[in-house]
Structure 1
Amino acid sequence: MFIQTEDTPNPQSMKFLPGQAVLGHGALGIDFPTLEAAAASPLAAMLFETDGVMGIYLGADFVTVTKAEAVEWMHIKPALLGAIADFFTAGLPVLAEGAGAQSSSLATPLEDYEGEDREIVEQIVELIETRVRPAVAADGGDIVFKHYEPRTGVVFLSMQGACSGCPSSTLTLKNGIENMLKHYVPEVARVEAA
């Protein structure tokens, strides 16, 4: 099995592409920031066994691994490639039985917003889903909508995978996403990391 790797803007994260579905087309990604969280995924749990692994993000067709700053990629990359190849060759399930991909990227359900606020949130979510998430997935990460505060116009987003802890994430959040949302949705005053 040939697994491609790609560097990400975050020097502590690397994207692994096994050449087949990880969560599957259309699935929302799942972030495993700790070994305890990885219990829901045999793949993520196995990758956490490699010394220096600090986080796993599973996407539709990729795995992003975040390492400790003190660890060099050249020391752990071969072990990670072997673990991913062995896992997919064995045909094991990516998620534990009963564990499912995130059913919704919303922390505050859409139903909790009413009237004009709901329309604003729908516009924000649509822009994030169609313009932001595909771009950051290409870099091994994800950005998901968490909450909109109508009174202040603040949008809260969660950074996952390679985006979490990335040195350029603040720049992406403020200069890229905030400017785009303010342009298309005038009610948005600013964007903050959740």
Structure 2
Amino acid sequence: MFIETETTPNPQSLKFLPGQPVMTSGTREFASPEAAEASPLAQAIFDTGEVTNVFFGSDFVSVTAAPGVEWSALKPQVVAILLDHFVSQAPLFVPGTAGGIAVPPEDEEMAVKDDPADADIVAQIHELLDTRVRPAVAGDGGDIRYRGYKDGVVYLTMQGACAGCPSSTATLKHGIEGLLKHYVPEVVEVRAA
């Protein structure tokens, strides 16, 4: 087995491609060692002591190094952990945990509650996020979560390699906001939530 790596726009994150599916549906982010307890793989990566975020995508794992950590030392450790996991066909999640869901249960709350009167607008936003935005963001080692719509403002959260990326604000404001405003005239702004 061979693990490929790709750089991301975030210099602190690398995208690891094991050449096989990671998540069969959805995505999962681990932003702390405590959150990683649901996954032996995420926990092993956090156990290096040099990681601040682990993100599982459909066919990749993004890892964000702690400030000051050099990838030249961390990369071989992460590759070894990934190889051990995928070669042994170990489970991705601890049995009985809410591992295979896209949104961890403790984080299901929206930034704002959608008004039922805006259902058509919200449906259009979801369609654009799913068909146009998510594939591009996944290419950079991350994902985007919808967090609500109110008074023309769409609330989104960047995940994985995109979460701490220096260009994430530009992605939200110039890329995603422009796209949503073009196709959904009711959208006036996109904000990070």
TM exceeding 0.5 = yes
C-alpha distance in structure 2 between counterparts of 1:171 and 1:50, whole Å: 31
Amino acid at match of 2:148: H
Q: TM-score, normalised by structure 1?
A: 0.92
The Cα shift of 1:112 comes to 5.4
Percent identity of paired positions between Structure 1 and Structure 2 = 55
- Equivalent position of 1:14 in the other structure: 14
C-alpha distance in structure 1 between counterparts of 2:90 and 2:47, whole Å: 17
For structure 1, the residue ranges without an aligned partner over 5 or more in a row are none
Residue of 114, 117, 127 corresponding to 2:116: 114
Residues matched between the structures, number: 188
C-alpha distance in structure 2 between counterparts of 1:153 and 1:125, whole Å: 14
The Cα shift of 1:103 comes to 5.0
Q: Deviations for 1:68-117, whole angstroms, at most 9, x for unmatched residues?
A: 12000001100110010001111111112122322569744xx95423x0
How do 1:109-148 residues align onto structure 2 when only pairs under 5 Å count?
A: 113-115=115-117, 117-148=118-149
Q: Is the 8 A contact 1:17 1:63 kept in 2?
A: yes
Amino acid at match of 2:8: T
Q: TM-score, normalised by structure 2?
A: 0.92
Q: 1:58 to 1:103 in 2, by over 3 A?
A: closer
- Equivalent position of 1:76 in the other structure: 74
For structure 2, the residue ranges without an aligned partner over 5 or more in a row are none
C-alpha distance in structure 2 between counterparts of 1:172 and 1:107, whole Å: 23
Q: Is the 8 A contact 1:107 1:145 kept in 2?
A: no
Q: Deviations for 1:46-84, whole angstroms, at most 9, x for unmatched residues?
A: 110113111100011100000012000001100110010
C-alpha distance in structure 1 between counterparts of 2:103 and 2:80, whole Å: 32
Q: Is the 8 A contact 1:53 1:66 kept in 2?
A: yes
